[in-house]
Amino acid sequence: MKRFHVRHALLCVLSLCCGFTSSAVFAGEVKVYYAEDYNKDHNDVKAYFGTQAMGTIIKATVFAKDRPTIERMAKRFGATLTRHEDITTVHKPGPMTTLNAHSGEWVGMPCEAAHVLQKAKDIAQLTNGAFDPTIGTVTATWKVGFGGTDVPETQAIQDAKKRVDWRKVEVDVGNEANGVCYARIGKGQAVDLGGIVKGWSNEVLARQVKADGALSAMVVLGGNTAFVGKPSYYDKWLTPIPMPDNPRLYGGYFRLVEGDIVSTSGDMERHIDVDGQRYGHIMNGQTGKPVQNKFAYVTVIDHDGARADALSTALWVMGDKAFDFLKAHPDIQALLVMKEG
């Protein structure tokens, strides 16, 4: 797929494809809903999963041979999500909060978490810090999406941004055989993997539902979507490209296959508005402030979920510089959508 520049704004609405609203989602468990109209006319079974984790809504549309397969799949789906959140979140005790609390020291953690942190560092290097896993001091200062309602004091912003530097992240997976790996960040730093972990988890979950018996599936974690098999109605999965001023109107569709992972970043879902100014949840480590740019959203398609998620975040942070970055990296498939006006 070629990169292209569309002069319209868009928020990712891939989550609209799964037939859920937020009222159908409950924390801590996976709700299963069966598509009875479909099931009475087909030999396979269609179901929808709904839950929430990692600060977002998770949805899936799954086709399998029977209901017992669906029920087993849903149970393991929920358990994996819980584990992923527990080992990567900075909002409750776990490996990442321990790493932050003991900055400057080597800290043991599950190797899954260490590998995500290493991927985060790799993307930070690729993007020259536009994506930076040590953004945690900045996100904690603003708290957008996590109770923040005001613009922090200038000094607090300055103090937070000077601690952001991905080059101080060290990861050691040399003892992976025993299940424990190690990481260290700079003194006073704090990691926040919110810009990469959903894409990583999305890919893992898609592979898992396939292994658990899904004939085909679409798995959605916030702005990240992964695919298994083929849909029953087309040869490829169709995901909409909404118009900027009305996300229920579409300007086209992506045609995607198993292995494709779509990640979209923007500021329309999580933001605060102060004195007529919108402040989104994606932070620029160099300014210590939420990103301000001309994009409505940025979408990346890749076969690596973590890479897709982190790159969409990085391109959002780059703003106009994203075009030059994409020219220099023609292997990255991206859609940059500009705001109206």
Instruction: Provide the residue-wise pLDDT of the chain in tens; the chain has 341 residues.
Output: 333 333 232 233 333 334 444 344 444 589 999 998 887 788 899 999 999 999 889 999 999 999 999 999 999 999 999 999 999 999 999 999 999 999 999 999 999 999 999 999 999 999 999 999 999 999 999 887 777 778 888 999 999 999 999 999 999 998 888 889 999 999 999 999 999 999 999 999 999 999 999 999 999 998 999 999 998 778 899 888 877 766 677 888 899 999 999 999 987 777 677 777 777 788 999 999 999 999 989 999 999 999 999 999 999 999 999 999 999 999 999 999 888 75
Helix (H, G, I), strand (E, B) or coil at 72: helix
**What residue spans of 212-284 are helical by DSSP H?**
none
Q: What is the rounded distance in angstroms from the CA atom of residue 100 to the CA atom of residue 191? A: 7
Q: What does the angle CA 270 – CA 76 – CA 207 come to, to the nearest 5 degrees?
A: 75
- Helices 305-318 and 321-328, interaxial angle, to 10°? 140
Domain assignment of residue 45, yes or no? no
pLDDT value of residue 327: 98
Query: Residue 107: which CATH number?
Result: 1.10.3980.10
Q: Is residue 219 part of a domain?
A: no
Residue-number span of the structural domain to which 141 is assigned = 95-184
Does any domain span residue 168?
Answer: yes
Domains contained in the chain, number = 1
pLDDT score recorded for residue 108: 96
Please identify which residue in the block is written with the tokens 């106009």.
320
At a CB cut-off of 8 Å and minimum separation 6, what does 195 contact? 120, 131, 133, 135, 265, 282, 309, 310, 313
Q: Rounded to whole angstroms, how far apart are CA atoms 108 and 277? A: 41
pLDDT at 247: 63
- DSSP annotation of 340: P
- pTM flag (> 0.85): yes
In a domain, 129, yes or no: yes
Q: Is residue 49 part of a domain?
A: no
How many C-beta atoms surround the C-beta of residue 68 within 10 A? 11
Residues in contact with 167: Cβ distance below 8 Å, sequence separation at least 6, in sequence order: none
Please, which residues have CB within 8 angstroms of residue 322's CB and are 6 or more apart in sequence? 298, 315, 316, 334, 336
Nearest to 183, CA basis, from 124, 95, 85: 95
Give the amino acid at 84.
H
Residues in the chain: 341
Contact between residue 163 and residue 190 where contact means Cβ atoms under 8 Å apart: yes
Is 241 part of any domain? no
**Among candidate residues 298, 94, 97, 95, the one with its CA nearest the CA of residue 195:** 298
Integer Cα distance of 200 and 122 in angstroms: 14
| DSSP element (H, E) containing 6 | strand 4-6
What's the confidence (pLDDT) of residue 8?
30
Domain presence at residue 120: yes
What is the distance between the alpha carbons of residues 257 and 260, in angstroms, rounded to a whole number? 6
- Least Cα distance to 224 among 140, 313, 291, 144 occurs for 313
Q: For residue 302, tell me if it sits in a domain.
A: no
Contacts of 93 (CB under 8 A, 6+ apart): none
